[in-house]
Amino acid sequence: MAAKKKDTITIDKEFKARMKIFKEALKSEEKKVELHDSIYGSEVLIRFEVFLPSRDPSKFADGLFLYMNDSGEIVDAEYYIKIEDNITVSKLKPNDLKVVKELFNDSFSLEIE
């Protein structure tokens, strides 16, 4: 448990530092250009949300978040449960991801120009 707390503190600290840089970039065109020039790459990742059938979606709903790359391939997925206003999201394990990929791979098409 201590490692998780330490990781959270590190993540929070790093995020605050990044936000400081972002805010500075908003105030100065020079800093903005410097920031943009320092970014070495980016990746397109599209998220599809699949709403699974539910008798009463206002009380209980579940579904999948499917993440596709710019080639239209499902590269990751998460399962979620929403009970009233509480939502829990869980990353799919590799074997479950394999099943979801096989089931939904041809269900969505993606065209990027």
Going from the C-alpha of 1 to that of each of 6, 7, 66, 90, the distances in angstroms are 9, 10, 30, 19
Per-residue pLDDT of the chain (113 residues; tens, 9 = 90+): 444 566 667 888 999 999 999 999 999 999 999 999 999 888 778 899 999 999 998 889 999 999 998 888 999 999 999 998 899 999 999 999 999 999 998 887 766 66
- Which pLDDT belongs to residue 7? 62
- Which pLDDT belongs to residue 35? 94
- Which pLDDT belongs to residue 39? 92
* CA dihedral angle for residue 8, residue 46, residue 75, residue 5, rounded to 10 degrees: 0
